[in-house]
A = this chain, B = another copy of it.
Amino acid sequence: MVRKTREAAAATREALLDAAERVFRAKGVAHATLADVAQAAGLTRGAVYWHFRDKAEMLAAMCERAALPMEAMIACCGANLKLPPLTILRNNAVQGLMRLARDTRTQAVFDVVFNNCESNDEATPLNDRRRLNDEGCRQHVAGLLRRAIDEGALPADTDAAMAAEIIKAFMLGVMHAWVQDPRAYDLERNAHQMIDVLLAGLVARPPRVVGKSIVPYQARTVAAD
């Protein structure tokens, strides 16, 4: 049984990525072999190497089927403009958590990204993508915060960049911790509360600009041996 039709081939590709989610999650990306993935999909390494050049490309393709952590936030900011910016921010954040709480694929990909993937060479495309939309999220949130400052919802000397960092860190931490142990609490039910706590804190005691707290970004390099 070989030479499937085009749709069948696309289906096996998806099956391989489904298997990759399970195997990478269980064994870790580095420790998992492509034979494991193929076997989990009921195929052989031939199929894997037909659809993907190597493990790195497979990992990238797997992650492209789901939204990355911070991407989930700004992805679903629909046509609800004209709402107060802090409300938009709240909706975005809650939507990001809701997507994670409900979509099992997002859960699998996040679990791999957070806990089962080392940021080495074979994850560079993934990490590049993360950097990009982490920065996009920063900009998006900081923009909303500046609008909130303009509208008087936050004091004028609010450190918007630091506030954005705080929000991003909180989202990251909630997602990371929950994905690590989804049984700890019902994220879908508590997402609103959690976001509201942080936003209330931002309003009650916003970070102020004191000096040059935020320095321009510069890629870090860690030297080996």
A59 within 8 Å of B (CB atoms): no
For residue A178, which residues in chain B have a CB less than 8 angstroms away from its CB?
A: 169
List residues 183-207 of chain A with CB under 8 A from any CB of chain B.
183-186, 189-190, 193-194, 196-207
> What is the distance, in angstroms, from A18's C-beta to the closest C-beta of chain B?
12
For residue A173, which residues in chain B have a CB less than 8 angstroms away from its CB?
A: 168-174, 176
Contact indicator B189/A165 (Cβ below 8 Å): no
A215 within 8 Å of B (CB atoms): yes
A79 within 8 Å of B (CB atoms): no
Question: Copy number of this protein in the oligomer?
Answer: 2
List residues 205-225 of chain A with CB under 8 A from any CB of chain B.
205-208, 210-211, 213-215, 217-218, 220, 222-225
A84 within 8 Å of B (CB atoms): no
Contact indicator A22/B118 (Cβ below 8 Å): no
Size of A's binding interface in residues, CB under 8 A: 72
A–B Cβ pairs within 8 angstroms, 27 of them: A23-B224, A23-B225, A25-B222, A27-B224, A28-B119, A30-B31, A31-B118, A36-B225, A115-B118, A115-B119, A116-B118, A159-B193, A165-B184, A165-B185, A166-B194, A169-B170, A172-B172, A182-B220, A183-B215, A186-B213, A189-B211, A190-B213, A197-B198, A199-B201, A201-B202, A201-B204, A203-B204
